[in-house]
Amino acid sequence: MSDAGYDKQQAREAGEIARLLSYVLILLASVGLFVSATAIPTSRFEKLGAGAFPKIVFAGIALVAVIAIIDALRKIPAGAYGRFACQTVAWARRRYLVFVVLATLAVYLLAIPLLGFSVASFLFILGLELVLMPRRPATLLVAVIVAAVFSFGLNWLFAEVFTVFLPRGVL
Amino acid sequence: MDSFLSGAAQIFTLATLIYMLAGSLAGIIAAAIPGFTVTMAIVLTLPLTFTMEPLQGIAVMLSVYVGGYTGGLISAALLGIPGTPSSVATTFDAFPMARNGEPGRALSLGVWASFFGTIISTVVLIVAAPPLAMFAVKLGPWEYFSLIVFALTIVASLVGDSVIRGLLAGLIGLAISTVGTDPIMGRPRFDFGIEMLETGLPFLVVLIGIFAISQLTSEVEDAKSVRSGNALVTGAIDFQTWKVMKEVLLRPVNLIRSSIVGVLIGALPGAGGSIANLVAYDQAKRNSKDPDSFGKGNPDGVVASEAGNSATAGGGLIPLIGLGIPGSAVDAILMASLMVHGISVGPRLIMDHADLVYGMFIAMAVASLMMLFVSVVSMRMFLRVAEVPKWLIVPVVMVCCVVGSFALNNRVTDLYLLGFIGVAGYALRALGYSLAPLVLGVILGPIAETNLRRALMTDADPSLFFTRPISLIFLIAAVVSIAWAIRGHLKQRKTSGRSTDAPAS
């Protein structure tokens, strides 16, 4: 029992480190965008140019990010950094379905212009259902019907009722 | 009066009423499915309303909204799982009541409480919004800018567990809104040579990516629960509709108190139904003669929670109609839908488009009646809805998201953007950033920028922000809201730090 509690503590520390990384990333991005905002030309008709508001926002982000970084550095014990890699792997493994879903979504989005909306959606829904569902014959039937309705059926609905034509594909 | 009749005429057409009925049905069904939030339902409704008249579109979205606040009750009462975050407190008493053999009574209590909550909040909205707008049109760009600063800080401090991440999320939202041409001079900004970015990031795609895709993805985090089904409460269900109506009306103090709590919280930017139900429940418990029975199936608990969360629907519209500032993510979407139709939302809305505003008031009342009608007639059917498993919901709703993002501009590049924002949104969610401030930042960004620059174009002296009294009040309120949030945060950390440090030392 104490073992599980220990793990949780380590996982929390790893989460803090991941957040720290996100703050650093946000800080770098905001500084970079701040610099690029200075290149936006100002107008002689107003005191603030088009770049002024973005500069204020990015300066604000940078400021808050610095505070967040300092706050995070205080919270994370020194030993946590060494464990970060294996904690991250463990975290990713616990949530492997998330990565499966996001990867499937990416493939689906890329496939739409090629296969067309109907075929791509049918494959996407069915594929994802097969990954996520408890494998029983009855559910398989439901899965196929649902996939067909929400791909070919949706395409028909949008074309006929809303006159929105979803991508047809080149194949 | 003319505009009132004109608004009514637009609402009481057969087509609008049918659409609204479908909307409440969709809202109830969507919110009854665990993992499908009211916000997601509204985001997905938005593209369907593009072809409608403005008022018709808004009326449909309001029906989804009102229906959604009720639908969360079904899974809360029967499964003990809040269907939406706004029905968390409903589970405390409705679930035990259902377990004690009165599932029908629990559901009917919730439905009636929601109905009266919505009606009370609509009345407050009708009374409060016009004077607020009268006051707001007198505000100059200085006051407006300060008001938005205040709104963003209060959002950041109220939502989520970390003030810093809330602030960051709000600022990132503001940053997203600066992509594309600037609102005053029309200069291109941050397009990085990409054609799609020249007109700015499409708001709807950002919304769908941030809310729907990331939410759906987080639903599959726990592999075990995805692959198993939930068992529903079985047995005969007797709704006792009219008896329960009397029961609800016999608790006027609780009903009105909870509704007022809901309206007030809904009117605060950032706080919505997800907070109101807990506060209303807490208030009901404190003022009860028998606080110990709460959590064991006390009808007052159900009434408080459901009246509280439904009343935020009307409360949230008060700042939207009065000031042009959305009170929550859902109100931001309503505002976006008006903007899609070319209607600028602000304090002048009630003067320039009075028929639209009165139409919205009427639509709220009609929507709550429809919700009541749909719930009473077909509650039995919805019991099945809560059973729909996640493995069906996740892929199907993702396809709906794709259709919704595509239908806006008919651009395939928007889909790539959707994928990218979905991943980014999930990453932010997984890291514990709250996403509501981000969305409000996106929608408030251009308003803030326009007012800031307009203020300085009118008078180059920036000290006017601090010397104009109303502007100063808003800025002080912004500082106070951050300070207050940080203080609460530190206090919490102190107590939790002590408890975790104790065994170590």
Residue of B nearest to A147 (CA): B396
Chain B residues with CB under 8 Å of A33 CB are 175, 190
CA distance A101 to chain B (A): 7
The conformation of residue B198, written as its DSSP 8-state character, comes to: G
CA distances from B491 to B448, B486, B494, B496 (A): 32, 8, 5, 9
CB count in 10 Å sphere of residue B499: 9
Considering only CB atoms, A40 lies closest to which of B187, B223, B415, namely B187
The answer to whether residues A49 and A42 touch, using CB atoms and an 8 Å cutoff, is yes
Distance separating alpha carbons of residues B240 and B250, to the nearest angstrom:
15
Instruction: Examine the pLDDT at A134 and tell me if it is beyond 80.
Output: no
- What's the mean per-residue pLDDT of chain A? 81
For residue B188, give the 3-state DSSP assignment.
Answer: coil
Distance separating alpha carbons of residues B328 and B326, to the nearest angstrom:
6
Helix (H) or strand (E) holding B377: helix B354-385
For residue B468, give the 3-state DSSP assignment.
Answer: coil
Residue A143, token pair as written in the block = 């899965």
The answer to whether residues B465 and B471 touch, using CB atoms and an 8 Å cutoff, is yes
Chain A residues with CB under 8 Å of B175 CB are 30, 33, 54, 57-58, 61
Distance separating alpha carbons of residues B85 and B215, to the nearest angstrom:
12
The answer to whether residues B103 and B60 touch, using CB atoms and an 8 Å cutoff, is no
Interface test with B, best of A87, A98, A107, A112 (most B CBs within 10 A): A98
- Restricting to A residues 111-140, those with a Cβ less than 8 Å away from any Cβ of B are 112-113, 117, 121, 124-125, 128-129, 132-134
Sequence-distant (≥ 6) Cβ neighbours of residue B85 within 8 angstroms: B37, B273, B274
Maximum Cα–Cα distance across chain B: 73
Distance separating alpha carbons of residues A98 and A104, to the nearest angstrom:
10
Distance separating alpha carbons of residues A169 and A101, to the nearest angstrom:
23
Q: With cut-offs at 50, 70 and 90, classify the pLDDT of residue A3.
A: very low
Chain B residues with CB under 8 Å of A15 CB are 431-432
CB count in 10 Å sphere of residue B15: 10
Q: With cut-offs at 50, 70 and 90, classify the pLDDT of residue A1.
A: very low
Interface test with B, best of A17, A69, A97, A170 (most B CBs within 10 A): A97
The CA-based angle A111-A116-A117, given to 5 degrees, is 90
CA distances from B358 to A96, B51, B314 (A): 50, 21, 13
Q: What is the DSSP string of B75-108?
A: HHHHHSS-SSGGGHHHHHHHHHHHHTT-HHHHHH
- Which residue do the tokens 């259709």 mark? B403
Residue B470, token pair as written in the block = 């109303």
**What is the identity of the amino acid at A95?**
R
Residue of A nearest to B441 (CA): A57
Residue among B65, B57, B71 at smallest CA distance from B19: B57
Sequence-distant (≥ 6) Cβ neighbours of residue A83 within 8 angstroms: A10, A13, A14
Q: What percent of chain A has pLDDT over 70?
A: 87
Interface test with A, best of B403, B461, B463 (most A CBs within 10 A): B403
The answer to whether residues B86 and B366 touch, using CB atoms and an 8 Å cutoff, is no
Considering only CB atoms, B431 lies closest to which of A18, A37, A43, namely A18
Chain B residues with CB under 8 Å of A141 CB are none
Considering only CB atoms, B226 lies closest to which of A45, A112, A132, namely A132
Helices B390-409 and A96-115 pack at an angle, to 10 degrees, of: 40
A11 to chain B, any CB pair closer than 8 A? The answer is no
| CA A135 distance to own-chain centroid | 28
Residue A68, token pair as written in the block = 């967040």
Distance separating alpha carbons of residues B40 and B333, to the nearest angstrom:
10
Residue B345, token pair as written in the block = 């939302």
For residue B137, give the 3-state DSSP assignment.
Answer: coil
Sequence-distant (≥ 6) Cβ neighbours of residue B417 within 8 angstroms: B196, B201, B202, B205, B209, B405
CA distance A46 to chain B (A): 6
**Partner-chain contact B432 A19, CB within 8 Å:** yes
* pLDDT value of residue B503: 34
Considering only CB atoms, A109 lies closest to which of B48, B190, B419, namely B419
Q: With cut-offs at 50, 70 and 90, classify the pLDDT of residue A2.
A: very low
* pLDDT value of residue B271: 60
Q: What is the DSSP string of B240-299?
A: -HHHHHHHHHT-HHHHHHHHHHHHHHHHSTT--HHHHHHHHHHHHHHT-S-GGGTTS--H
CB-count burial class (<10 Å; 0-12, 13-18, 19+) for B3: middle
Radius of gyration of chain A from Cα atoms?
A: 24
| CA B246 distance to own-chain centroid | 29
- Which residue do the tokens 């009720």 mark? B70
**Partner-chain contact B418 A109, CB within 8 Å:** yes
Chain B residues with CB under 8 Å of A112 CB are 402, 412, 415
Considering only CB atoms, A61 lies closest to which of B172, B220, B423, namely B172
CA distance A12 to chain B (A): 11
For residue B161, give the 3-state DSSP assignment.
Answer: coil
The answer to whether residues B67 and B59 touch, using CB atoms and an 8 Å cutoff, is no
Distance separating alpha carbons of residues B208 and B329, to the nearest angstrom:
12
Distance separating alpha carbons of residues B441 and B135, to the nearest angstrom:
24
Interface test with A, best of B18, B177, B189 (most A CBs within 10 A): B189
CB count in 10 Å sphere of residue B315: 30
Chain A residues with CB under 8 Å of B229 CB are 134
**Partner-chain contact A166 B452, CB within 8 Å:** no
**Sequential pLDDT tens for chain B (505 residues):** 677 788 888 888 888 888 889 888 888 887 777 667 777 788 888 878 877 888 888 899 889 988 887 777 877 777 776 666 677 788 788 888 877 777 778 888 888 888 888 889 888 888 888 888 777 777 788 888 888 888 777 776 666 667 788 888 888 888 888 887 777 777 777 777 777 777 778 777 887 788 778 878 887 777 666 555 444 444 556 667 777 777 777 788 888 888 888 888 787 766 666 677 877 888 888 787 877 788 777 888 888 888 888 888 888 888 888 888 777 777 888 888 888 787 878 778 888 888 888 888 888 889 988 888 888 877 777 666 666 777 777 888 888 888 878 877 778 888 888 899 899 989 988 888 877 788 778 877 888 888 888 888 887 777 888 888 888 888 898 888 788 777 776 776 666 544 433 333 3
Considering only CB atoms, B392 lies closest to which of A53, A100, A129, namely A129
**Partner-chain contact B174 A22, CB within 8 Å:** no
**ipTM greater than 0.90, yes or no?**
no
The answer to whether residues A143 and A151 touch, using CB atoms and an 8 Å cutoff, is no
Segment A46-79, tens digit of pLDDT? 666 777 888 888 998 999 899 889 888 888 877 7
Distance separating alpha carbons of residues B379 and B356, to the nearest angstrom:
32
The conformation of residue B48, written as its DSSP 8-state character, comes to: G
